[in-house]
Amino acid sequence: MKAPKMGGVGGGALLSQLHGVCSFLWLTTTVVVAYTGGRPGAFSSSGAIVVDGKVAIAETDEDFICATLDWWPPEKCDYGTCSWGLASMLNLNLSNPILLNAVKAFSPLKLRLGGTLQDKVIYDTGNPKQPCTPFIKNSSEMFGFTQGCLPMSRWDELNMFFKKAGAVIIFGLNALNGRVPESDGSLGGPWNYTNAASLVRYTVNKGYTIHGWELGNELCGSGVGTRINADQYAADMNTLKSIIDDTYQGFPAKPLVIAPGGFFDANWFADLVDKTKPNSLDAITHHIYNLGPGVDEHLIEKILDPTYLDGEASTFSDLQGILKRGGTSATAWVGEAGGAYNSGHHLVTDSFVFSFWYLDQLGMSSTYDTKSYCRQTLVGGNYGLLNTTTFNPNPDYYSALLWHRLMGRKVLSANFTGTKMIRAYAHCAKQSQGITVLLINLSGNSTSKALAKTKTTYSLGLNHHRVHRKSKAAQATREEYHLTAMNGDLHSQTMLLNGRILAVDSKGNIPELAPIKVGASQPIIIEPFSIVFAHIPYFDAPACR
């Protein structure tokens, strides 16, 4: 009798039934929930979170949290708004102390360098010789810009910053060199790898460490702007694998070979896996913008709708099915995820409310054995973890940092029953005893018809059937991190941790993320429209030993 894998879905079982289940799940912790509507006569009931600690259901990379840096110049605009500023890899202010400290705080943060324009970038290595010109806006060109160029002096500056910040780097290579137009609108012909191979050699000769080389951006399936068929892409990936093997010959470890960096298409992905197995491809990456365009006026309703959130589970599940059936050693990554495409939406995708979507995505994807999840972006557009102009952290930055520090690699089955408005996920604690539970309360006060109109506070009390042998539940304490919006405003770009404002100091230092200590016998209180991380060290899960 194992709790369902999908942690965000409620079931509504009675407490008496749950206690019966727990008699069989002898290595399970149960979190009992009592909740009452805030208006007279509101419905009262109880539910529970059941965390199965016997075995892990999935495992992530140690550096699961990942963010992206893009190529878009300031002239990139969507719906009349130009939100990128100086956030491109070509013009980002690498001397800003907040930027440096924000990356260093993760120790390490995985960074994926790429995006739409990566397939129009020439690397100024001298091979082949051609002018190094910047991107210029031109609506008649594919993706709206002319070809651009990465000077090696800038590549040197970026790598010095990455080393200083302790970042782990994934670089997306230009996959369109050498292609010819086909009658069906796709691009055909083999990849001209000359320029890319010269960048790889330059990087190795300089001693720069690259964790992975990715080929192409959103060219799979029906593509974005253009596409390449799976057979040709597979042949190109085998070529890239040979380049990496040859260039890194004699190295103790070689970078990962990664593709295709695009939207999931089951048939296309299955063909790619089949033609690159067993080990030409180390990670298969897909992108997620499941909320629709950034201009959509209903983004918040989607974010707070558990049924809508559950819709993305099929993509994670289907991709895992392809990998398991395909006889490949490749693992699944989310290579880029901004939620709402075309640069997101100011005061939604860069505000407190977006942490509901983002953390739910992290929790859901991890239950399906996703190894890394790259957020679009670290900085840039309206969905950056950092403000594009000031580099001050947006709320999702702190959500990502707490996940990185608290949620270990091993994923546990967590099932919440009682209401679908509570999303629950659990992992073995990171570099600590016990487990960490993530609780996301989508319910709160709102005048919108799509949102809950009653104020509900959830009190969670743990039923301590299994604690560490050297600990007594009555004497034990746990650590809680309660995240709320400033003044309860979901559009706020200021996040509170346990009631205290999170902000950098005058020197650009990232604030301490300090928990509150709570006795084991006390309930966890989940306020309306809030998020709670709870580190429970006294639960002895065999999966976490």
The residues assigned a catalytic role are 218, 336
Residue type for 525, please? I
SS3 annotation, 189-252? CCCCCHHHHHHHHHHHHCCCCCCEEEECCCCCCCCCCCCCCHHHHHHHHHHHHHHHHHHCCCCC
- Report the C-alpha dihedral over residues 90, 93, 98, 104, rounded to 10 degrees: 50
- CB-neighbour burial class of residue 184 (10 A; exposed 0-12, middle 13-18, buried 19+): exposed
- Helix, strand, coil content of the chain in percent (nearest 5): 25, 25, 50
- CB-neighbour burial class of residue 134 (10 A; exposed 0-12, middle 13-18, buried 19+): middle
- CB-neighbour burial class of residue 542 (10 A; exposed 0-12, middle 13-18, buried 19+): exposed
Q: How many CB atoms sit inside 10 A of residue 130's CB?
A: 12
Q: Which residue, 148, 105, 101, is CA-closest to 124? A: 148
Residue type for 518, please? V
Name residue 69's beta-bridge partners.
113
Residue with tokens 């939620």: 339
Q: Backbone phi, then psi, for 43, in 5-degree steps?
A: -70, 135
* Cis status of the peptide bond prior to 377, with omega within 30 of 0: yes
Question: Quick one: CA dihedral 224, 226, 231, 236, positive or negative?
Answer: negative
Scanning 440-524, the segments in alpha helix (DSSP H) are: none
Q: Which residue, 501, 461, 361, is CA-closest to 29? A: 461
Residue type for 522, please? Q
Name residue 505's beta-bridge partners.
none
Q: Rounded to whole angstroms, how far apart are CA atoms 501 and 476?
A: 28
Residue with tokens 């979901």: 490
What per-residue string of b and e applies to 497-529 under the rule 16 or more CB within 10 Å gives b? beeeebebeeeeebeebebeebebeeebebbbb
